[in-house]
Structure 1
Amino acid sequence: MAKKIWSITSNIIGGLLFIAICFLVFIVFSSRLSGEDPTILGYQMKVVLSGSMEPTFQTGSIISIRVSNDPSSYQKGDIITFHFEDKLITHRILEVKKANGQVSYKTKGDNNNGPDLWTVTAQDSVGKYTGFTIPYVGYALNYTNTKAGIALLLIVPGIWLVITAFRRKEIEVKEA
């Protein structure tokens, strides 16, 4: 009975691990092929690379943002991700400015002493933080963007499939 429970448990854990690895492979390859971050049902996952928004979310976390069709609709207090000098930054809106029919935002990182020196136009914004954060997973996801990380994502599932096939064959031989 204990062997059967152990077998079922290990199969479930192995299956979940395999699904997680496949999901990571999908994310990495879809972002490589499209040149953009993958969007799933209007949401994108972003890796936090600095501590400017601590304690709201920690460095190395993954956050979820909702990509907006109307980036001029954000309000004071919203946390947005935006483009600035070829970087993506996620900061809180301090002030919404409207001039000549154009909307712009004054932003600040929660952990920064003062507001950002620039103003973000609505066109530069990517999306709004949804409140969903997974701590520390960003470090692993960042690693998957390296050559070694991509190789690991291809090798580990292959080894896992081979081991699983041998296990199943071994069980079939014992049952026969």
Structure 2
Amino acid sequence: MPDVRRALHVVGIVVLVAAAGVTAVVAAPQVVGADESYVVVSGSMRPTLQAGDVVVVSSTAPANVDSGDVVAFDRIAGDGKRTTHRVVEVIERDGQRYFRTKGDANEEADRRLVPEDALIGRMAFSIPYVGWAFSFASTDTGTLAFVAVPGVLLVVSELWSLVAAARGGGSESDGSAEHTGESGR
């Protein structure tokens, strides 16, 4: 039985460290040298990206973006609504760079060209499925599941330990003290 408990303890620590690492990358992509992270909400980039994946994006100069790169951009410069699609063509016009983009799963390229000032950056990497957990965590049920339930379990665990120590630990301590007292005479 102690070997099973030890194995479960090790598995629990590994899972906790992995979850903390992924959370750190998503919440602060700067830890891996990136600048932004987004949850993919549509299937327009299948099979490269699925809804629920997290995309980690590094800022890059528009001059460094080429056809084939997967980029994140504002749909309309400054609107805050982000899209992640593949660049299928780079267009130079009137001293400005524009990008024709297309979702991998879409038949046709996007109607609007992406001006360079709407570019956020190039995809550095993605983390599959993790976005579902972060999206769920932002709901009331998710907050309950990820904060309240573990908090209650921690309190119950600590109370259990205190009760166990009060029941069994007191007599061991008394016996130890008596033994120490006898050998000191």
Range of TM-score over shorter length:
0.7 to 0.9
The alignment partner of 2:41 has SS state of coil
Q: Which has the larger radius of gyration?
A: 2
Q: How does 1:1-176 map to 2 (within 5 A)?
A: 3-19=1-17, 20=19, 24=23, 38-41=28-31, 42-43=33-34, 44-68=36-60, 70-85=61-76, 86=79, 87-134=81-128, 136-166=129-159, 168-169=161-162, 176=172
Amino acid at match of 1:5: D
Higher fraction of helix: 2
Aligned mates of 1:22, 1:163 — CA distance in 2? 27
The alignment partner of 2:9 has SS state of helix
Aligned mates of 1:57, 1:22 — CA distance in 2? 21
Deviations 1:31-83 (A, max 9, x none): xxxxxxx4323323321111111111222222222233x23311110000111
- Maintained 8 Å contact 2:70/2:87: yes
The unaligned stretches of length 5 or more in structure 2 are 173-185
- Maintained 8 Å contact 1:96/1:105: yes
1:106: how far off? 0.6
- Maintained 8 Å contact 2:53/2:126: no
The percent of aligned pairs where both chains have the same amino acid is 28
TM-score, normalised by the number of residues in structure 2:
0.71
Amino acid at match of 2:37: M
Amino acid at match of 1:123: D
Runs of 4+ deviating beyond 4 Å: 16-19, 21-24, 166-176
Higher fraction of strand: 1
TM-score, normalised by the number of residues in structure 1:
0.74
Aligned mates of 1:40, 1:73 — CA distance in 2? 20
Bigger mean CA offset, 7-16 vs 43-52: 7-16
Bigger mean CA offset, 145-154 vs 113-122: 145-154
Aligned mates of 2:110, 2:74 — CA distance in 1? 13
Deviations 1:1-44 (A, max 9, x none): xx2222222323333455537975x789x7xxxxxxx4323323
Aligned-residue CA RMSD in angstroms? Answer: 3.0
The answer to which structure, 1 or 2, has the higher relative contact order (CA under 8 A, 6+ apart) is: 1
The unaligned stretches of length 5 or more in structure 1 are 31-37
1:125: how far off? 1.5
Aligned mates of 1:132, 1:54 — CA distance in 2? 13
Aligned mates of 1:5, 1:167 — CA distance in 2? 22
